[in-house]
Amino acid sequence: MKVMRAVNTKQCAPIIYALLQLIIFYAGLNAVKGVWPLPHALTSSVEQYPLNPQTFAFDYGKHSATQQGCSLLDAAFRRYFLLIFPDYTAENGQLEVAANNSFSLYISTDHNDCENYPNDDSSERYNLSVSAGQASLNAATVWGILRGLETFSQLVYQDDLGSYFVNETFIEDFPRFQFRGVLLDTSRHYLPVHAILKTLDAMSYSKFNVFHWHIVDDPSFPYQSRSFPELSKKGAFHPATHIYTQSDVRRVISYARMRGIRVLPEFDSPGHTGSWGKGQSHLLTPCYKGGAPSGTFGPVNPALQSTYQFMASFFKEVTSVFPDSYIHLGGDEVDFSCWRSNPHVRAFMQKMGFGGDFPKLEAFYIENIVNITSANNKTSIVWQDVFDYHERRSALSVVEVWKHGCYLCKVRQVTKAGLRVILASPWYLDLPGPTHNWARYYTVWPLAFPGSEKQKRLVIGGEVCMWGEYVDATNLFPKLWPRASAAAERLWSDEKQTSSVEKAFPRLEDFRCKLLRRGIQAGPLNVGHCKHEYQSV
Amino acid sequence: MRALSVSALLLLALNSCRGTQDNLLDEDVIEPVVQASKYGSLWPLPQKVQISEVPLKLSGATFEFTDAKGSTAGPSCSLLQSAYRRYYDYIFGGPKKQKMSRNRRAGPLELTELQVSITSPDSQCDGYPSVTSDESYELSVDVPVAVLKAPTVWGALHGLETFSQLVYEDDYGAKTINSTKVSDFPRFAHRGILLDSSRHFLPIKVLLANLETMAMNKFNVFHWHIVDDQSFPYLSRTFPQLSQQGAYHPYSHVYTPSDVKMVIEFARLRGIRVIPEFDTPGHTQSWGKGQMDLLTPCFSGATPSGSFGPVNPILNTTYDFMSRFFKEVSDVFPDGYVHLGGDEVDFTCWKSNPDIKKFMDRQGFGQDYSKLESFYIQKLLDIVTTTKKGYIIWQEVFDNGVKLKPDTLIHVWKGNQEQYQNEMAKITSAGYQTLLSSPWYLNRISYGQDWQSTYKADPQDFKGTEEQKKLVIGGEACLWGEYVDATNLTPRLWPRASAVAERLWSAKDVTDINDAYNRLSAHRCRMVERGIPAEPLFSSFCRHEYKGI
């Protein structure tokens, strides 16, 4: 909280503006507890309009670049209809109803990007105005429309008799950060595809837009490669049941696209590759003990030409399977002891003039991999370790800061070097914490470091991480939600309007109950209840 | 007892993103990899078990559970018949589509039958389990028939669970069981789980699923902390206003009499006692909403402040109410014990109230409010005694020197290891029976494999005589509800509570943490396969991952 005050007291005008916003916002509170994450500008009145599921319609505006047949939006209408009217069933759809309270939501986009994938430059801005009998939702892109539909669905509420209402509302909204991610780790425990899809649903409710798929790691290699099927055959927990086939991957990507979510794959190397070695011989470095191979293996062997040939064809596949323009290359936590023990690696270092400087060897390796991926037109993201030991930092583009301690110092340092930053340190949600500690994930101020405007712009966003040592399908959802939603608001909303934990709490509590209503197993924030409790085990 | 700071217990070792993965390659440290235990997946480990190398096959088409000749519980014992069906489903994954081909001749190494024999004259089939129930059993698995002998149905239920845990699939997927001899009984008679349905309402489905899981772990007491400050979901027939006003919602967030009955019967069929807790005089805010004048009005200066404190101990109406209320409770809950709470009574409201001050003077209590508390508790104990129930109370009641019946059970929940061990010594040297929960507050969570510390705690580890040790009748794992509801209860409880289950059931010397890890990993996968979202112990996989998302 102290940090926050330091940020806010610098200028007075924005505070007054923020206060005004709050007053306006609270005027609408008697009807609906609000939207999560909070829109940038929201005004609403006590004027309420009834909504009737029989007569409610989504429609395209006359001048909209997208029209019926845009399957992405048509599917979104079907989804959001059921989210807006959770009690709706086909049976009561038969009833004759007076048509006097019909309501239409008109959608209009500037571009027809229905068939595209969301990307790092996609606009998610939208305007929503709700008035008598109709609402209009305008955006440059379909991605903005998706965000606006989510907002609209959160504005609708039911009275005690179950009738639906929405209040007169005007919203102008856009994300504060362009990159708002959730990392799932499918290597330490295999997550069934269904669990991933449901996570994507929940992500869209909080306006997350990047699924960072930490798909392989030391414990298992569930990605079934077209070019190297042995990798999952030998490296997965089970070659038939614990893998992601190409069609699974396509399904995840397409499901994510329909929700405006990018899929960012991570194939972490040279460390964290234990499982790769099982299906690809000579890829990992043989460790030595007293002059002879010990039988164990270390990181990827950077001294062999065959390594780079393998990586070139492997990443050629990966970059064609995953359409996003970013790829995560990992590069964290490389242990040098095995490299050090191996005489061939040492000889290679002599030849390259690295001496005994293993970080140089690692930098050499990573640079090769970065070159491979940029040849495939992808932007590389690496964990901060790579930045820390890299001398030629210009070869890098995006750095993900994950280490604890003064993470903003690191953000400052990376942006000073002119590189883009994704912040993850404060959002390691696999570390436990009763859910009431959601405030810990809320009171994060990603730009509260001394630096130029240009530096601040280089912070492209943040990411919630759910590492998998102690997480699988049995406990993923209550661990992730609604704590991740706290981070979502930090990444989407205006910081000045959302700096108070106390003010956010009732809105988050309400949002958590909405998640339950939508079948997301979101854990409780504190003592209390929801009208509709989670009805499974 | 919920005041303990949860955040203080977060033992965060935050140097690496992958926690324990650091330095693995350095030191030749072996990642914990699940290896087969010679005891397979048995959990909790039986007192005596001999597993031979001889594999026998079981086929869903021929295998049956039968009642042995001379068993005192026959086909009319629906408790056993329901258990047969349950375990058939667990072993063979639901009824087989193909017709039962009883005519098919069984192979030489095929087990076709488990004969169940209840040996004592009273099988207790239609009774309720109690603290004195005989839960022992003997299991002998051999061709052509396996035999399960137990004095009562309670032992037989545990034997069936053990039998189902011995069955595994061979490489071809065929159900297999090795020829085995087991002789088993619990180390402690009271092995409980506390769930808190006041801070969050727990739907019946959740309670039932956890009773089912308790049976898989040979727990035998469901301690139902049913009401508290936050809400009063118990629908009382005598005082319906209590839940009408005190529940989160008077219809959707209550336990009706038939709900309660269902829970009790579901538990009975699994050999589990249901002990309700109606905690007074503190922790009663929700009671006050539906029962006028029950709580003490707090004063600010000379006028009532509008807020209320603990139960008002100076009014006769309080004791009239309690008599009628506990009469109902003793009728509704068949168990021989009721938990009366008695913890964390805050004196500030009593101190503020002028009528209470006068009463204190009249009684000669001076400024000693613990005397007033004792006064209340003693009257309450007298009331409960007339219902012929035994009672359990939290340790404060003992600490405050309230006069107790010699058969009172004292529940220890406070303190660190040294403190609770001293408390256990004190209570048992005063001759009282005791239950331990301090090391088993599973609502506290930390990073890593915290089941290990749970597993290592032993209720008889304190300075005392053999006689004193015998007064320890067991323990309970507690899952308080501030941050727990239906969304996260099951994975938070299991398999962490399983560690407590083995400590309370198995022999004292079963302490090999590596063997426990191997068995518990398999046991947790079995729970997952049975539809229970039990969370993982560490990076690993189950052949059948959880599908209930």
Span B208-255, pLDDT tens digits: 999 999 999 999 999 999 999 999 999 999 999 999 999 999 999 999
B 341-400 residues with CB < 8 A to A? none
pLDDT value, residue B103: 58
- Give residues 231 to 250 of B whose Cβ lies within 8 Å of A: 231, 248-249
Of A502, A506, A391, A490, the closest CA to residue A445 belongs to A490
- The predicted structure's pLDDT at residue A99: 53
B6, B212, B487, B544: best to mutate for the A interface, most A CBs within 10 A: B487
Per CB-CB distance under 8 Å, the chain B contacts of A216 are: none
Take residue A536 and report the two structure tokens written for it.
Answer: 């499974």
Average per-residue pLDDT for chain A = 91
Which residue is closest to B529 within chain A, CA to CA? Answer: A474
What pLDDT band is residue A436 in, cutting at 50, 70 and 90?
low
How confident is the model at residue A15, as a pLDDT? 41
The token pair at B109 is 């190494």
The reply to whether residue B549 touches residue A477, judged by beta carbons under 8 angstroms, is yes
Kindly state the average pLDDT of the residues B161-187. 96
Catalytic annotation, pick one of A96, A172, A266, A333: A333
Contact B205 A536 (CB under 8 A): yes
Confidence (pLDDT) at A392: 81
CA distance, residue A404 to nearest chain B CA (Å): 7
Contacts B31 to A, Cβ<8 Å = 219
Distance from CA of A123 to the nearest CA of B (A): 32
Residue A126, SS3 per DSSP: strand
Contact yes or no for B534 and A404 at CB 8 A: no
All CATH 3.30.379.10 domain ranges of chain B, comma separated, are 48-94+106-184
Cβ under 8 Å to A: B residues 15-54: 15-26, 28, 31
Residue B435, both tokens: 């239950």
User: How confident is the model over A190-210, as a mean pLDDT?
Assistant: 98
Given the residues B110, B328, B344, B529, the one annotated as active site: B344
| CB proximity under 8 Å: B 484-543 to A | 484-488, 490-492, 528, 531-541, 543
Please tell me the distance in Å from A181's CA to the nearest CA on chain B.
17
User: Is the pLDDT score of A21 beyond 90?
Assistant: no
**Closest by Cβ to B549, choosing from A198, A332, A402:** A198
Q: Which residues of A touch B17 (CB under 8 A)?
A: 332-333, 383, 402-403, 428, 465, 467
List where CATH 3.20.20.80 sits in chain B. Answer: 190-530
Contact between B26 and A471 using a beta-carbon 8 Å cutoff: no
Confidence category of residue A42, pLDDT binned at 50, 70, 90: very high
Please tell me the predicted confidence (pLDDT) of residue B105. Answer: 64
Mutate to test the interface with A, among B16, B449, B485 (most CBs of A within 10 A): B485
- Is B492 within 8 Å of A332 when comparing Cβ atoms? no
Which residues have CB under 8 Å from B257's CB, separation 6+?
B235, B237, B332
Q: What is the mean pLDDT of chain B?
A: 91
Q: How many CB atoms lie within 10 A of CB B385?
A: 12
Instruction: Using a CB–CB cutoff of 8 Å, tell me whether B482 touches chain A.
Output: yes
Which residues of chain A have a CB within 8 Å of the CB of B486? 533-537
Q: Provide the 8-state DSSP code for B330.
A: H
Kindly state the percentage of chain B with pLDDT values over 70. 92
Nearest CA of chain A to the CA of B252: how many Å?
A: 8
Q: Give me the pLDDT at residue A33, please.
A: 66
B14 pLDDT exceeds 90? no
Peptide bond connecting B44 to the previous residue in cis, omega within 30 degrees of 0 = yes
Using 50, 70 and 90 to split pLDDT, how confident is the model at B7?
very low
Lowest mean pLDDT among A387-391, A472-476, B83-87, B291-295: A387-391
Out of A428, A478, A528, whose CB is closest to B488?
A: A478
Looking at domain B190-530, its CATH superfamily turns out to be Glycosidases (3.20.20.80)
Contact B536 A474 (CB under 8 A): yes
Interchain pair B14, A436: CB under 8 A: no
Residue range A155-173: mean pLDDT, rounded: 94
Which residues neighbour B409 within 8 Å (Cβ) at sequence distance 6 or greater? B190, B337, B390, B391, B392, B393, B432, B433, B434, B435, B473
Question: Mean pLDDT over residues A163-183, rounded?
Answer: 97
**Pairwise CA distance, residues B136 & B182, whole Å:** 11
Taking the C-alpha atoms of residue A246 and residue A252, their distance in angstroms, rounded to an integer, is 10
Residue A325 has pLDDT above 90, yes or no: yes
pLDDT of residue A409: 97
CB within 8 Å: B17 and A333: yes
Which residues, in sequence order, are bridge partners of residue A292?
Answer: A289
Write phi, then psi, for B35 (nearest 5 degrees): -120, 160
- Which residue from A337, A404, A469 is facing B14, i.e. has the nearest CB? A404
Q: What is the pLDDT of residue A389?
A: 87
Does residue A19 carry a pLDDT above 70?
no
What is the rounded CA–CA span in Å between residue A331 and residue A267? 9
Q: What is the pLDDT of residues B337-380, one digit of tens each?
A: 999 999 999 999 999 999 999 999 999 999 999 999 999 999 99
Contact criterion met (CB < 8 Å) for A428 and B248 = no
DSSP A239-307: TTTS-B-HHHHHHHHHHHHHTT-EEEEE---SSS-TTHHHHSTTSEEEEEETTEEEEEEEEE-TT-HHH
Cα–Cα dist A109/A524, whole Å? 38
CA dist B441 → B91, B303, B461 (Å): 32, 40, 18
Kindly indicate the confidence band of residue B447, based on its pLDDT and cuts at 50, 70 and 90.
Answer: confident
Region B7-23 average pLDDT: 33
ipTM: 0.85
Considering only CA atoms, which of A189, A263, A267, A193 is closest in space to residue A231? A267
Contact indicator for A445, A489 with CB cutoff of 8 Å:
no
Of A24-38, A73-87, A259-273, A456-470, the range with the lowest mean pLDDT is A24-38
Alpha-carbon gap, residue B178 to B146, rounded angstroms? 11
Exposure of A136 in the CB half-sphere (CA atoms within 13 A): 8
Tokens describing residue A439: 């405030």
What type of residue sits at position A437?
N
CB A81 within 8 A of CB A103: no
Of A189, A403, A478, the CB nearest to B541: A189
Higher-confidence residue of A16 and B490: namely B490
Q: Do B12 and A536 touch (CB under 8 A)?
A: no
CA distance B81 to chain A (A): 26
A370 burial class (0-12, 13-18, 19+ CB within 10 angstroms)?
Answer: buried
Look-up: residue for tokens 């406070």? B414
pLDDT at A98: 52
Q: Which of B446, B541, B548 sits opposite A432 (nearest CB)?
A: B446
Q: How many CA atoms lie within 13 A of A221 on its CB side?
A: 23
Residue B16 pLDDT exceeds 70:
no
Tell if the CB–CB gap between A465 and B17 is shorter than 8 Å. yes
Chain A partners of B15 at a C-beta cutoff of 8 Å? 403-404
The pair of structure tokens assigned to A7 is 């940020």
Please tell me whether residue A4 adopts helix, strand or coil conformation: helix
DSSP A223: B
Average confidence (pLDDT) over A449-461:
97
Residue B256: pLDDT band with limits 50, 70, 90: very high
Q: pLDDT tens across A508-537, in order?
A: 999 999 999 999 999 999 999 999 999 887
* Neighbour count for residue A304 (Cβ, 10 Å): 16
Residue A475 has its nearest CB partner, among B199, B447, B491, at B491
* Chain B interface mutation, best of A464, A472, A516, A525, highest count of B Cβ atoms under 10 Å: A472
**Do B535 and A536 make contact, defined as CB atoms within 8 angstroms?**
no
Q: What angle do CA A173, A176, A181 make, to 5 degrees?
A: 110
Cα A342-A346-A351 angle, rounded to 5 deg? 150
- Smallest CA–CA distance, residue A501 to chain B, in Å, is 18
**B194 secondary structure, DSSP code:** E
The verdict on a CB contact (< 8 Å) between A533 and B28 is no
For residues B476 and B453, give the distance between their C-alpha atoms in angstroms, rounded to a whole number.
Answer: 15
User: CA–CA separation, A190 vs A323, rounded Å?
Assistant: 23
Considering only CA atoms, which of A206, A259, A40 is closest in space to residue A128? A40
Using a CB-CB cut-off of 8 Å, the residues of chain B touching A194 are 547, 549
Q: What is the pTM of this model?
A: 0.89
Could you say which of A402, A524, A536 has the minimum Cβ distance to residue B484?
A524
What is the percent of chain B with per-residue pLDDT over 90, rounded to a whole number? 86
Q: What number of other Cβ atoms are within 10 A of residue A419's Cβ? A: 17
Contacts of B492 in chain A (CB under 8 A): 475
Chain A residues closer than 8 Å to B543 by CB: 238, 241
Whether B344 is catalytic is: yes
- Tokens representing residue A86 in the block: 């959770």
State the pLDDT at residue A537.
74
A237 contacts B541? CB cut-off 8 A: yes
The 10 Å CB-count burial string (b at 16+, else e) for A259-276 is: bbbbbbbbbbbbbbbbbb
Which of the listed CATH numbers 3.90.180.10, 3.30.70.920, 3.40.50.360, 3.30.379.10 matches domain B48-94+106-184?
3.30.379.10
Q: What is the mean pLDDT of residues A100-109?
A: 90
Distance of CA B517 to the CA centre of its chain: 22
User: Distance (Å, rounded) from C-alpha A488 to C-alpha A482?
Assistant: 10
